[in-house]
A and B are shown apart, each in its own frame.
Chain A
Amino acid sequence: MSTAAAIILFAAVTFYAIFGGADFGAGFWDLTAGGAKRGERPREIIDHSIGPVWEANHVWLIFIFVVLWTCFPEAYASITLTMFVPLTIAALGIVLRGASFAFRKAVFRTRLQRHFGAIFAVSSVLVPYCFGAIAGGIASGRVPAGGQAGDPVNSWINPTSIVAGLLAVSVTAYVAAVLLTWDAGRLSDDTMVGYFRIRAVAAGVVAGVIAFVGLFVARNDARYLFDGLTSRALPLVVVSVLGGLAALVLLRGRPHRGGRLAALIAAGALIFGWGVAQWDYLLPESLTV
């Protein structure tokens, strides 16, 4: 029973990471799109892309909470007690992001749009970083079992958390760039296809490098995770790498539907790989499923 719940939990985390992550990543490109004039067209594509689904993806997050507190209440209490600060930042970031995205569309003066846009974009980077840092803290065994509070600072400011946070930002940026390339292709905007394609490649390379560095960090800082990643989770790691490369290949020329799928698989396999790597610990190495 609890095994099934844990699998559902990691599946929900994976879905939130790829679907919610794509929304956050779009915010990253919004942030880096440059001034109002230069960044106008990319921002239009971003708006078009996430407009209809925006914020509905948080339902995955709520679902994660619900599964956690219903099936693993003790672990949930431990996580919220230990990760109070990054969770609070993430919550506030979600408020700022969702509200300012809505406001930006509803106001018409450029100056106001720019203000709301900046809030939207900055919080879009902050939130995935915090979630990544929390995941890193959990994976490296810094959250104790038994509804206890761990170290309030070291639990999310530590080598594994920093790498995981950066990885989260780069992966969301990568997935978003791939999806945006495809969206631009659907709108037959070749300039923007090229614009987002180059960014997808860049983000993919950066994510790859961070993941590679992360393996070495984990070897010293999160041994259980490292052992898992290099044994039972190895197939998923390979799938993730292949998916990431395949997506970039499929983006050449006219964007291909498969590229989108490959990018989602790459991100999904990475997150699910984390779950498999720390199996059967929910909180390594103190609380098992």
Chain B
Amino acid sequence: MMHVFGGLLILVPMEVDPVPWARAQMAFTLAFHIILVPLGVSWAAMTLIANYRAIRHGDRDALRLAQRWSKYMAVTFAVGAVTGTVLSFEFGLLWPQFMGKWGEAFGVPFAFEGLFFFTEAIFISIYIFGWRRLKPWPHFWSGVPIPVAGIFGSASVVAANAWMNSPQGVTLDSTGMIVDVDPVAVIFNDAMPLMAAHMIIAAYLVGGFLIASVYATGMLRGRRDRYHRLGFIIAFTVAAIATPIQMGVGDGLARWVYSNQPVKFSAIEMVPQTSSDVPETLLGHLNSSGEVTGGIPIPGLASWLSDPSTGRSTVVQGLDTVPADQRPTIREVNVVHLAWDIMVGLGTLLFLFTLWYWASWIFRRDMPQSRWFLRCAVVAGFLAVVTLEAGWTVSEVGRQPWIVYNKMKVADAATTNTGVWFTFIVVALLYVGLGITTILVLRGMSRRARREPRFEETDVPYGPRETADRPQVRAG
């Protein structure tokens, strides 16, 4: 081990172009953090649903669910908090020129994000502390600010990202430097409402499928008790409500991109030359001379989807309308298009899967019982995460080569530090370890919970220390 480190230390002075490594590090840390976001935003809401049921109907299983979920949530929140803090470091470490030039505008949404994060942390702490110290209803209400702050917090972060797509609210002088910032216009830029909605609903969709998949696994292993059933139904219902809404919002967002970021849109739909009656090509790729190869074209569909009112005669702008250095490279176009196909394809699949669930409730007044349904539910948790990552790839790679759309390029924003390749490797190793450990710790907690069903709030992050004069355990 020491040998490896020694070897790496010798390599550190090696000078490597920082831009691709800075992009890789940012992409990797964001891809990691974005998985924790759904849990932070939607898990608290599901916990409160279980908590509400527990108090309203005296449901002991629901109470047990709420108590355990609040514990697991504390762990994922902790990991999310630190990986989020790292991101705020990286803006400066990896993109100093970007922050130096646009910080005045880009920083505004983050000030709000900080406030919401703080609120979320405080109320998570109160909620976990409050299990035995507060009366049931006040305790329930102490949890309500958590998902609310989660929603506003992610809206703030997405506002910053949306601003990179739609940089408004800044006045520049003749040299291109910011002279005035309108904070309201920065936060509520044109891209923000749909992007924020898309992300927040994604948080509920992914969080729901992910947690449902855990309980589906338990049920497949024979734990078909009421507790598991309830855990599954709460989580899956949340996902099943979010999925159809997400399709509508996603459709609206795609049309926004069509009107406002035509080059990004032509990368998504893989359109080399401007034309009407553009086919929707499933899979396929651009070859080295920029022609569409392979894939299954559906005639006219891309045009029709872009604006149904003009149908197949809708004109879609091609990649060739801007110089090569102002549009994604062929490789990037292929990444964007593939990620788009994955997002839409898996999203549709997940939607069809929720129809199975709804149909069963409508016709049989119960959730589907078959093992095949549960197996699909296990896979759906994983697929939902893949869909989320694919969607985020579309948004980020599709914006290339711009970091601020049509105003600053990624290559001009990056650090000049040639050692970034090394920090990328360290960060990647650390995060892989962190991810594995998080899963192992959560699994360990759940096993222990099965062995010792008595609820203890002392063995949880944010939780209190055990005291001698512990009050009586409240119902359940």
- Report which A residues bind B (CB closer than 8 A): 44, 47-48, 51-56, 58-59, 61-63, 65-66, 68-71, 73-74, 76-81, 84-85, 87-88, 90-92, 94-99, 101-103, 105-108, 147, 149, 152
List chain B residues, Cβ under 8 A from A56.
81, 118, 121-122, 125
Report how far A103 CA is from B283 CA in the complex, Å. Answer: 42
- In the A-B complex, the 6 residue pairs with the smallest Cβ-Cβ separation, listed nearest first, are A77-B100, A80-B92, A70-B107, A69-B103, A73-B103, A102-B78
Report how far A276 CA is from B377 CA in the complex, Å. Answer: 60
Tell me the smallest distance from the CB of A246 to a CB of chain B, in Å: 29
- In this assembly, does B59 line the interface, its C-beta being within 8 Å of a C-beta of chain A? no
Report how far A54 CA is from B102 CA in the complex, Å. Answer: 32
List chain A residues, Cβ under 8 A from B463.
51, 105
Say yes or no: B437 contacts A99, CB within 8 Å. Answer: yes
Say yes or no: A92 contacts B417, CB within 8 Å. Answer: no
Say yes or no: B82 contacts A95, CB within 8 Å. Answer: yes
With A56-B122, A62-B110, A84-B415 in contact, do A95 and B103 touch (Cβ < 8 Å)?
no
Tell me the smallest distance from the CB of A24 to a CB of chain B, in Å: 14
With A48-B465, A56-B121, A88-B423 in contact, do A77 and B96 touch (Cβ < 8 Å)?
yes
Say yes or no: B460 contacts A106, CB within 8 Å. Answer: yes
Say yes or no: A91 contacts B464, CB within 8 Å. Answer: no
Report how far A149 CA is from B418 CA in the complex, Å. Answer: 12
List chain A residues, Cβ under 8 A from B83.
95
With A102-B74, A106-B461 in contact, do A87 and B117 touch (Cβ < 8 Å)?
no
Say yes or no: A99 contacts B82, CB within 8 Å. Answer: yes
Tell me the smallest distance from the CB of A189 to a CB of chain B, in Å: 11
Say yes or no: A102 contacts B85, CB within 8 Å. Answer: no
Q: Which of A63, A81, A106 contacts B415 (CB 8 A)?
A: A81
Q: Which stretch (B248-256, B285-293, B402-410, B441-449) binds chain A?
A: B441-449
18 A-B pairs within 8 Å (CB atoms) are namely A58-B85, A62-B113, A63-B114, A66-B107, A66-B114, A76-B103, A87-B93, A92-B427, A94-B85, A95-B83, A99-B79, A99-B82, A101-B461, A102-B75, A105-B463, A106-B441, A107-B441, A147-B100
- In this assembly, does B15 line the interface, its C-beta being within 8 Å of a C-beta of chain A? no
List chain B residues, Cβ under 8 A from A152.
417
Report how far A80 CA is from B413 CA in the complex, Å. Answer: 13
Question: Who on chain B is nearest to A58 by CB?
Answer: B85
With A47-B465, A48-B464, A95-B430 in contact, do A55 and B92 touch (Cβ < 8 Å)?
no
Say yes or no: A55 contacts B118, CB within 8 Å. Answer: no
Say yes or no: A73 contacts B100, CB within 8 Å. Answer: yes
Q: Which of A63, A71, A84, A98 contacts B93 (CB 8 A)?
A: A84
List chain A residues, Cβ under 8 A from B17.
none
Report how far A74 CA is from B465 CA in the complex, Å. Answer: 45
Report how far A106 CA is from B89 CA in the complex, Å. Answer: 27
- In this assembly, does B329 line the interface, its C-beta being within 8 Å of a C-beta of chain A? no
Question: Who on chain A is nearest to B94 by CB?
Answer: A80
With A69-B99, A99-B79 in contact, do A87 and B89 touch (Cβ < 8 Å)?
yes
Tell me the smallest distance from the CB of B112 to a CB of chain A, in Å: 9
List chain B residues, Cβ under 8 A from A54.
461-462
Report how far A53 CA is from B423 CA in the complex, Å. Answer: 30
Q: Which of B99, B104, B107, B464 contacts A80 (CB 8 A)?
A: B99
Report how far A107 CA is from B79 CA in the complex, Å. Answer: 15
Report how far A52 CA is from B103 CA in the complex, Å. Answer: 33
List chain A residues, Cβ under 8 A from B97.
77, 147
Query: Of B100, B104, B113, which is in contact with the most chain A CB atoms at under 10 Å from its CB?
Result: B100
- In this assembly, does B224 line the interface, its C-beta being within 8 Å of a C-beta of chain A? no
Report how far A73 CA is from B177 CA in the complex, Å. Answer: 11
Say yes or no: A59 contacts B118, CB within 8 Å. Answer: yes
State which residues 400-444 of B face A: CB under 8 Å: 415-417, 419, 423, 426-427, 430, 434, 437-438, 441, 444
Say yes or no: A70 contacts B92, CB within 8 Å. Answer: no
Q: How many residues of B contact A (CB 8 A)?
A: 59
List chain B residues, Cβ under 8 A from A59.
114, 117-118, 121
Query: Of A54, A59, A78, which is in contact with the most chain B CB atoms at under 10 Å from its CB?
Result: A59
Q: Does more than half of chain A's interface fall in helix, strand or loop, or is it mixed? A: helix
List chain A residues, Cβ under 8 A from B353.
none
- In this assembly, does B28 line the interface, its C-beta being within 8 Å of a C-beta of chain A? no
Say yes or no: A66 contacts B111, CB within 8 Å. Answer: yes
Say yes or no: A102 contacts B417, CB within 8 Å. Answer: no
With A56-B122, A63-B114, A71-B104 in contact, do A105 and B461 touch (Cβ < 8 Å)?
yes
List chain A residues, Cβ under 8 A from B434.
95, 99
List chain A residues, Cβ under 8 A from B102.
73
Report how far A244 CA is from B148 CA in the complex, Å. Answer: 42
Say yes or no: A84 contacts B88, CB within 8 Å. Answer: no
- In this assembly, does B152 line the interface, its C-beta being within 8 Å of a C-beta of chain A? no
List chain A residues, Cβ under 8 A from B106.
69
Say yes or no: B92 contacts A52, CB within 8 Å. Answer: no
- In this assembly, does B342 line the interface, its C-beta being within 8 Å of a C-beta of chain A? no
State which residues 111-135 of B face A: CB under 8 Å: 111, 113-114, 117-118, 121-122, 125, 129
Report how far A231 CA is from B289 CA in the complex, Å. Answer: 70
Say yes or no: B78 contacts A98, CB within 8 Å. Answer: yes
With A66-B114, A69-B106 in contact, do A55 and B464 touch (Cβ < 8 Å)?
no
Say yes or no: B91 contacts A81, CB within 8 Å. Answer: no
Report how far A99 CA is from B36 CA in the complex, Å. Answer: 13
Report how far A85 CA is from B99 CA in the complex, Å. Answer: 18
List chain B residues, Cβ under 8 A from A147.
96-97, 100
Report how far A99 CA is from B83 CA in the complex, Å. Answer: 9
Tell me the smallest distance from the CB of B49 to a CB of chain A, in Å: 24
New A-B contacts (11) at CB < 8 Å, excluding given A56-B121, A85-B419, A88-B89? A51-B463, A71-B104, A77-B96, A87-B92, A88-B423, A91-B85, A91-B89, A106-B444, A106-B445, A106-B460, A107-B441
- In this assembly, does B86 line the interface, its C-beta being within 8 Å of a C-beta of chain A? yes
Report how far A120 CA is from B104 CA in the complex, Å. Answer: 35
Say yes or no: B79 contacts A91, CB within 8 Å. Answer: no
Question: Who on chain B is nearest to A79 by CB?
Answer: B92
Tell me the smallest distance from the CB of A200 to a CB of chain B, in Å: 21
Tell me the smallest distance from the CB of B110 to a CB of chain A, in Å: 5
Say yes or no: B441 contacts A103, CB within 8 Å. Answer: yes
Say yes or no: A99 contacts B78, CB within 8 Å. Answer: yes
Say yes or no: B92 contacts A65, CB within 8 Å. Answer: yes
Say yes or no: B93 contacts A80, CB within 8 Å. Answer: yes
Q: Which of A78, A79, A95, A107 contacts B86 (CB 8 A)?
A: A95
Say yes or no: B82 contacts A55, CB within 8 Å. Answer: yes
Say yes or no: B93 contacts A108, CB within 8 Å. Answer: no
Report how far A95 CA is from B113 CA in the complex, Å. Answer: 19
